[in-house]
């Protein structure tokens, strides 16, 4: 079997089994696939590593010791320190070496996979179906491997099979899964198809993802900053039939937690003003003193980021992804106690 066929087989297997499109890992797998043929000086690795290939060639027949589970295990042990630096690199190395010799089991002579046993592993049992080096059948296998590799690289570049499946179908629960896995790394946009819950008009718009709310619902915002619960539950302002998630830009998250004990809300938030931006979201619960005159306006057609429950002498305010401007406008002059989590998304 040709060297390029070995490389294609190893590259495809590395991309499939490691779920990666990382060039370094794919190249490692492809290069490692050439090493089993170091047992002959006529091969490319044999010519490069001539002292090693000459020594092996004199002592072992071709496709025996280097084409075996024994050699694969030995390579895995010798290169084990690589795991400390990069575990996936080590996996690609071992996988590439294994694929390099295992591909030869489909040739007419097979390999001594169970060395030191002389028994040869040959697949399939029918000799007429086995590959010959340079035959049309090998070129057909190469073409299939190229197509499969291209498909795998495309899928893995877009986040893997599960993400591609979810993105294609656009099911709201699948969109939530994508946001859960990628929301801390990328600014995500959602193309939403569905209808407005109240107006019953169709929706075909793009929104920025704020965060997941449930397993089926997302909190999204439009260009003006207005937020909407979007998904399949009855509480949504947008009932979505499809939600397609797209990556926009890499981001860095900053999360700060604060405790308030009868403090003026505006004075506390002023301490964090320098780190706040248009993508700063505040979550938490505050007990507000002297809240008799505190009024929170609610909207049926959008998500209410601030809700209020009145008690005898205090008001309990619930914040869900509220902006600093909203919090300051409503609660800035009040004394409050409770805990807040400030999450800021910084676009890189």
pLDDT in tens, 31-70: 999 999 999 988 888 899 999 999 998 999 899 999 999 9
Contacting residues for 254 by C-beta, under 8 A, at least 6 apart: 275, 343, 344, 346
In the chain the beta strands, taken as DSSP E runs, fall at 186-196, 202-212, 217-221, 227-231, 238-264, 280-289, 306-310, 314-322, 335-347
Residue that the structure tokens 């106690």 belong to: 337
Task: Based on the fold, state whether residues 245 and 257 are members of the same structural domain.
Answer: no
8 A C-beta contact, residue 193 and residue 201 = no
Task: Based on the fold, state whether residues 282 and 245 are members of the same structural domain.
Answer: no
Q: 122, 141, 157 — which closes off a domain?
A: 157
Of 195, 198, 246, 190, the residue nearest 219 (C-alpha): 190
Task: Based on the fold, state whether residues 100 and 203 are members of the same structural domain.
Answer: no
pLDDT tens column, 226-280: 999 999 999 999 999 999 998 899 999 999 998 999 999 999 998 888 778 889 9
Question: Across the strands, what pairs with 240?
Answer: 194
Task: Based on the fold, state whether residues 8 and 152 are members of the same structural domain.
Answer: yes
The 10 Å Cβ neighbour count of residue 130 is 18
8 A C-beta contact, residue 24 and residue 162 = no
Count of domains observed in the chain: 3
> What is the rounded distance in angstroms from the CA atom of residue 28 to the CA atom of residue 7?
10
Task: Based on the fold, state whether residues 7 and 152 are members of the same structural domain.
Answer: yes
Residue range of the domain that includes 211:
162-249
Query: In what helix (H) or strand (E) does residue 218 lie, and over which residues does it extend?
Result: strand 217-221
Q: Is the pTM of this model over 0.75?
A: no
């Amino acid at each position: 079997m040709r060297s390029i066929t070995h490389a294609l087989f190893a590259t495809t297997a590395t991309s499939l089994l490691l779920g990666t499109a990382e060039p370094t890992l794919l190249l490692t797998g492809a290069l490692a696939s050439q090493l089993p043929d170091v047992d002959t000086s006529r091969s490319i690795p044999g010519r490069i590593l001539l002292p090693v290939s000459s020594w092996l060639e004199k002592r072992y027949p071709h496709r025996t010791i280097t084409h075996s589970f024994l050699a694969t295990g030995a390579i895995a042990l010798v290169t084990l320190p690589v795991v400390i630096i990069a575990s996936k690199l080590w996996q690609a190395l071992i996988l590439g070496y294994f694929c390099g010799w295992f591909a030869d089991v489909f040739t007419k002579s097979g390999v001594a996979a169970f060395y030191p046993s002389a028994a040869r592993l040959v697949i399939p049992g029918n000799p007429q179906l086995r590959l010959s080096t340079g035959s049309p059948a090998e070129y057909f296998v190469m073409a299939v491997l190229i197509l499969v590799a291209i498909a795998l690289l495309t899928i893995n570049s877009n986040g893997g099979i599960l993400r591609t499946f979810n993105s294609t179908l656009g099911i709201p629960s699948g969109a939530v899964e994508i946001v859960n896995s990628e929301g801390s790394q990328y600014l995500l946009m959602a193309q939403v198809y569905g209808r407005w819950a109240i107006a019953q008009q169709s929706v075909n718009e793009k929104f920025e993802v704020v965060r997941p709310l449930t397993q089926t619902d997302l909190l999204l915002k439009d260009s003006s900053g207005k937020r909407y619960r979007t998904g399949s539950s009855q509480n949504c302002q947008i009932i979505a039939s499809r939600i397609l998630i797209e990556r926009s830009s890499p981001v860095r998250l900053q999360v700060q937690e604060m405790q308030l004990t009868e403090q003026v809300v505006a004075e506390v938030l002023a301490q964090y003003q320098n780190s706040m931006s248009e993508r700063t979201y505040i979550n938490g619960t505050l007990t507000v003193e002297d809240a008799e005159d505190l009024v929170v306006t609610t909207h049926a057609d959008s998500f209410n980021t601030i809700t209020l429950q009145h008690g005898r002498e205090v008001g309990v305010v619930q914040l869900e992804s509220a902006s600093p401007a909203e919090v300051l406008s409503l609660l800035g002059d009040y004394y409050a106690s409770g805990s807040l989590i400030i999450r800021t998304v910084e676009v890189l």
